[in-house]
Chain A
Amino acid sequence: MTETTPGPTGPAGPVRVVLVDDHAMFRAGVRAELAASGAGVVEVVGEAADADAAVDVVHRLRPQVVLLDVHLPGGGGVEVMRRQPSHDTLYLALSVSDAAEDVIGTIRGGARGYVTKTITGPELVDAITRVAGGDAVFSPRLAGFVLDAFAGSIDVAAVDEDLDRLTEREREVMRLIARGYAYKEVAKELFISVKTVETHMSSVLRKLQLSSRHELTKWASDRRLL
């Protein structure tokens, strides 16, 4: 979990990050933590406290990664992503809310990953570099939500051509992430390469964001996400 791939679109050097959170104290804390654990790897170039300011800052600074709070004045983190369809900025949700509807809603809104605010500094740096490198980042909790959301398809014997379903391999990867495994450990457990694990994760993220049918739709509409 330590390699730092520079983003395909960004220049080499520290990953440029914008912090979006309405609590100044939390921003200060994250900034200090990133400075301590991520010196030379991650650089905080800007901050914003609400959706409007965030859209503005992202537009001006064009960071590689935006750390995005889920609950944000002005319509939440989803609103920032909706109004900023910039191609080269990636979003990582950083939330204190554990509610499935918030988390899945933000991922469906376009975030590349989701971590909770109790995450440690080094883990956060790692998550940021991963997102900057084009990968998806699933915390154990998010992996749990994803499995829950796709749960109905476990017993479906007939494999049809539906895009929505998770393959058995993807499900296995999600399960290991939910159990607290790191990418490298997942790779070792399943006898596949870390790169393959990343491919599976990206594919799950894509299904999560694109899928609009079947189990996920039902799960989401039960929670009034749609």
Chain B
Amino acid sequence: MSQTTTSAAGQRPGGTRRAHRDTTSPIAGGVAAGLAVHLAVPVLWVRTFFVATALLGGFGLLLYAGLWMFLPSGQAFEVSAPGLESATRTGKRPGRRSRLRDAGPAVALGALFFGVVLGFEGIFGQGVLFWPVVLGVAGIALLWRQADEAQRERWVDSSGRIDPFRAVFGNGGWAAYTRIAAGLGLVLTALIVFAVVAGQARFAVPVLVAGLLGLLGLALVVGPWVVRLVDDLGAERAERVRTQERADMAAHLHDSVLQTLALIQKNSHDATTVARLARSQERDLRQWLFEADTADATTLAGALKEMAADVESQHPVVVDVVTVGDCDLDEALRPVVLAAREAVVNVAKHAGTRRADVFAETTPTAVDVFVRDRGAGFDADAVAPDRQGVRSSIVDRMVRHGGRADVRSAPGEGTEVRLHMPRSAHPTDQETR
């Protein structure tokens, strides 16, 4: 089972932990969400902080805007298993859901904005500069928001080349066009309103100010890309390395699949071999496509999966491993894996069935492993005393290491081996990893 653990801070292994904006769950710019992850506090606190400090002369708003500008957006390269990524890219999985489908945040932001406007008017009166500034700020905020969107979609895009159109509009869509149009419109309106309000009488100053505002607007419009270019370059380099790694792996798998198919063709008369080859290849691919990083045998689940693969390659049996919870595989748990292996091998050898189910459940106090088949079964009492397979390699092994094993079987009803190993009996559990 996949243990998906993606954290914003985990992106640069070995590097310092840097704050990010979380662009996957933004209300405005994802600043609060990103900070909440960075500071490890609930996002509600951060949002409350911003709203509260916004009342202190707009300090919160300015802080938010500043952080929005200078914090790099995180979660850029969230890597999941290749099969899932590819399915997402080709639209075979449901995509990211927009948070703003729920009108709540929009209403709240609107109310906040309205409140700021009223507050500003209350304090300064309807000054000459007020409305142009408000409109300009709103427009610029919209443009920044679009820049975020475009930047993120460029990351998701696999083609890698930077298309100027895409750089601005992202994947397009009415939302992007509306944002750009509204943003530019607001900035322009701000300039016009300013000119009208200021009147034509005082000629020189308005022109100067308008020019400055225009320049400022332009700088802010281009700003997002310039400021983030440096970040993007580093990120793109990392992505390139990753792409190359993936290409190598794909090539490797290609080879292995082709080899297996060749073997299957050669052995097409031998159904058992064909089935075994197909099964081992299937497992190989499945693991790579959907399970990202559970292939290693350093955890109990990984070790059981590896054990199953190993037995499958030597015996004509299909072993399905289902695990709930997981823990590090230490010396205390190795006997469990070995006993489970013995049980699975017994299924392959004696049960007369092609299938074994392995279920492992890890709780803080114990590890339970069940190996079940629907094969011939046997009468436990009738087993000759000289047949020591089950006794010595399963039951005695478990008992020796502080656990226990039960074998339940009846002729015609299959067999189930239950292994139980308490974890609290090994307090050095955590230290010996």
Asked whether A and B interact, the reply is: yes
Q: Which residues of A contact B (CB under 8 A)?
A: 22, 70-76, 78-79, 96-102, 105, 118, 140-141, 143-145, 147-148, 151, 154-155, 175, 178-181, 222-224
Residues of B contacting A70 in the complex (Cβ-Cβ under 8 angstroms): 93
Give 25 A-B contacts (CB < 8 Å), ordered by A residue. A71-B87, A73-B92, A74-B91, A76-B94, A79-B94, A96-B286, A97-B83, A97-B84, A97-B289, A97-B290, A98-B290, A99-B290, A118-B282, A140-B320, A141-B322, A144-B324, A145-B1, A147-B361, A175-B361, A178-B322, A178-B324, A178-B359, A180-B359, A180-B370, A180-B372
Q: A76-B94, A148-B325 are in contact. Are A179 and B1 (CB under 8 A)?
A: no
Q: A97-B290, A98-B286, A144-B324 are in contact. Are A222 and B359 (CB under 8 A)?
A: no
The answer to whether B2 touches A101, judged by C-beta atoms less than 8 angstroms apart, is yes
Bound form: Cα–Cα A223–B80 in Å: 10
Residues of A contacting B268 in the complex (Cβ-Cβ under 8 angstroms): none
Residues of A contacting B312 in the complex (Cβ-Cβ under 8 angstroms): none
| Residue interface mask B58-81, A partner, CB < 8 A = 1 | 000000000000000000001011
CB distance from B420 to the nearest CB of A (A): 13
4 extra A-B contacts, CB within 8 A, seeds A99-B81, A141-B320, A175-B361? A74-B91, A98-B1, A179-B357, A180-B372
The answer to whether B325 touches A151, judged by C-beta atoms less than 8 angstroms apart, is yes
- Interface membership of B4, Cβ < 8 A: yes
Contact of A147 among B84, B94, B324, B370 (CB under 8 A): B324
- Interface membership of B416, Cβ < 8 A: yes
Q: B416 — nearest CB in chain A belongs to which residue?
A: A179
Bound form: Cα–Cα A200–B23 in Å: 40
Counting from the closest, the 10 A-B pairs by CB-CB distance are: A180-B357, A144-B322, A71-B92, A179-B359, A180-B372, A147-B324, A76-B93, A99-B290, A71-B87, A179-B370
Residues of A contacting B95 in the complex (Cβ-Cβ under 8 angstroms): 75
- Interface membership of B314, Cβ < 8 A: no
Q: A74-B91, A181-B372 are in contact. Are A148 and B1 (CB under 8 A)?
A: yes
The answer to whether A222 touches B4, judged by C-beta atoms less than 8 angstroms apart, is yes
The answer to whether B84 touches A73, judged by C-beta atoms less than 8 angstroms apart, is no
Residues of A contacting B318 in the complex (Cβ-Cβ under 8 angstroms): 118
Bound form: Cα–Cα A101–B2 in Å: 9
Within 8 A of A (CB), among B291-340: 291, 318, 320, 322-325
CB distance from B3 to the nearest CB of A (A): 9
Residues of A contacting B91 in the complex (Cβ-Cβ under 8 angstroms): 73-75
Bound form: Cα–Cα A100–B5 in Å: 13
Residues of A contacting B178 in the complex (Cβ-Cβ under 8 angstroms): none
The answer to whether B93 touches A102, judged by C-beta atoms less than 8 angstroms apart, is yes
Bound form: Cα–Cα A144–B369 in Å: 13
CB distance from B347 to the nearest CB of A (A): 11
Bound form: Cα–Cα A147–B322 in Å: 11
- Interface membership of B90, Cβ < 8 A: yes
Residues of B contacting A147 in the complex (Cβ-Cβ under 8 angstroms): 324, 361
The answer to whether B372 touches A179, judged by C-beta atoms less than 8 angstroms apart, is yes
The answer to whether B324 touches A148, judged by C-beta atoms less than 8 angstroms apart, is yes
CB distance from B116 to the nearest CB of A (A): 32
Contact of A155 among B2, B320, B364 (CB under 8 A): B364
Q: B320 — nearest CB in chain A belongs to which residue?
A: A140
Bound form: Cα–Cα A98–B322 in Å: 11
Bound form: Cα–Cα A73–B93 in Å: 8
- Interface membership of B259, Cβ < 8 A: no
| Residue interface mask B357-383, A partner, CB < 8 A = 1 | 101010110000010101000000000
Bound form: Cα–Cα A222–B80 in Å: 13
The answer to whether A102 touches B84, judged by C-beta atoms less than 8 angstroms apart, is yes
Point out which of B4, B83, B93, B325 has the most chain A C-beta atoms below 10 A from its C-beta.
B93
Bound form: Cα–Cα A98–B357 in Å: 16
Residues of A contacting B2 in the complex (Cβ-Cβ under 8 angstroms): 99-101, 223
